[in-house]
């Protein structure tokens, strides 16, 4: 499902790790979100809640599913010249997911903690440790980063995938041309980005054999000032 962008399997380390420059400052936001199937059926509704406090931005995305499942993701980041993730929290629970997961990640220390509980036998597993995080880790910030790219520009960033063992992976943001989109009755021009995990040949083969090749995700950015997704 689209929300499982974070649950990817690869172990490729970055060739470079340059943080993305801030073109548009993030501020107070309350967005109302809807998740639907490709044929328009309602899966979940939710909120995007964002506030700025003490030089940091806290952005929280929550989806509540019809079956009672909940996806809850919170990222805290700074935006002094470049975007830098400071902390990340992920909670996903309910029958929409193969297992319940609570995960946290801190930039300053690199510490992570992952608590999973299998839905079949309720077996619980706890993982904690540290990761060496490059400056362009953008868990929970991929859309923010895409909004700040120059028109037609691509980028490669990194996220930590909880599989459930945390893995640092590369994620390509690839511009795929412009599309006309409707906002109400207004027609806007949006840049289509393909979000693609970057796999090496051997790792792609292993993921294929395991049936775990992550699909591409897609985002459309309307390039007004300020931009929108």
Mean pLDDT over all residues of the chain? 86
Distance CA 152, CA 144 (A): 16
Higher pLDDT pick, 152 / 174: 174
Q: Could you tell me which residues come within 8 angstroms of residue 89 by beta carbon, excluding any fewer than 6 positions away?
A: 72, 73, 74, 75, 103, 104, 105
pLDDT value of position 121: 79
Model confidence, pTM: 0.84
């Amino acid at each position: 499902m689209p929300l499982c962008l974070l649950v990817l399997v690869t172990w490729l380390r970055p060739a470079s790790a340059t943080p993305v420059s801030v073109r548009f400052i993030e501020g107070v936001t309350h967005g109302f979100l809807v998740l639907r199937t490709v044929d328009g059926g309602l899966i979940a509704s939710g909120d995007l809640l964002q506030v700025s406090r003490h030089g940091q931005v806290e952005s929280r995305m929550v989806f509540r599913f019809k079956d009672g499942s909940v996806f809850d993701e919170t990222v805290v980041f700074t935006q002094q010249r470049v975007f830098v993730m400071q902390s990340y929290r992920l909670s996903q629970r309910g029958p929409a997911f193969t297992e319940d997961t609570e995960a946290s990640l801190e930039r300053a220390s690199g510490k992570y903690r992952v608590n999973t509980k299998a839905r079949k036998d309720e077996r619980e597993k706890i993982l904690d440790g540290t990761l060496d995080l490059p400056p362009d880790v953008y868990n929970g910030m991929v859309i923010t980063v895409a909004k700040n790219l120059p028109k037609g520009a691509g980028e490669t960033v990194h996220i930590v995938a909880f599989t459930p063992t945390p893995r640092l992976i590369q994620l390509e943001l690839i511009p795929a041309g412009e599309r006309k989109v409707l906002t109400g009755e207004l027609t806007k021009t949006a840049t289509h980005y393909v979000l693609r995990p970057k796999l090496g040949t051997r790792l792609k083969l292993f993921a294929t054999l395991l049936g775990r090749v992550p699909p591409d995700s897609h985002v459309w950015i309307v390039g007004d000032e300020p931009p929108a997704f």
